[in-house]
Amino acid sequence: MSDIQEVMGQMIGALNEHDLEAMMRCYSPEAFFVSPSGKGEGADEVLSFWALFQEAFPDLQLTPWRKCTCGDTVVMEWILTGTHKGPYLMPDGEIIEATNRGITIRGCSVRNFENGLIVTHCIYYDQLELLTQLGARLILDRPAD
């Protein structure tokens, strides 16, 4: 279990230092990643997700709030802060250009480990909360095509 805690510390440190290489050393080459912003299968897609997210929020900081470890699974609540200074890719492919607005998002992650590396990483947060903080105009009553 201490290996998992060490990897978690390395992952959070690398995320906050914006060190994508160090982050990717925490993931298995076959890692699977899911978030409200998208999903990725394999190290290249996971790296692509994090690179795009850090481009959108170059001062991104993750602050762990509560953590629970059960076997090879770690559940962590966190707060994510940053400033929207680059393009943010929406799940539908649309892009929200930089707004220079600050964000503070509460969320939760579930990570499963094998051989000391992250094999699945699921992130949960309120996407509407993020989009509202970015000032995105949402069309909820779109006419059917």
Mean pLDDT of 8-26: 95
Domains of the chain: 2-133 (3.10.450.50)
DSSP H helix total and E strand total for the chain: 4, 8
Residue type, position 31, single letter: A
Q: What is the pLDDT of residue 1?
A: 42
Q: What is the spatial distance between Cα 96 and Cα 33, in angstroms, rounded to a whole number?
A: 22
Span 75-112, pLDDT tens digits: 999 999 999 999 998 877 888 999 999 999 999 999 99
Q: Among positive and negative, which fits the CA dihedral 70, 48, 102, 35?
A: negative
Mean pLDDT of 44-64: 94
Residue 67 pLDDT greater than 60, yes or no: yes
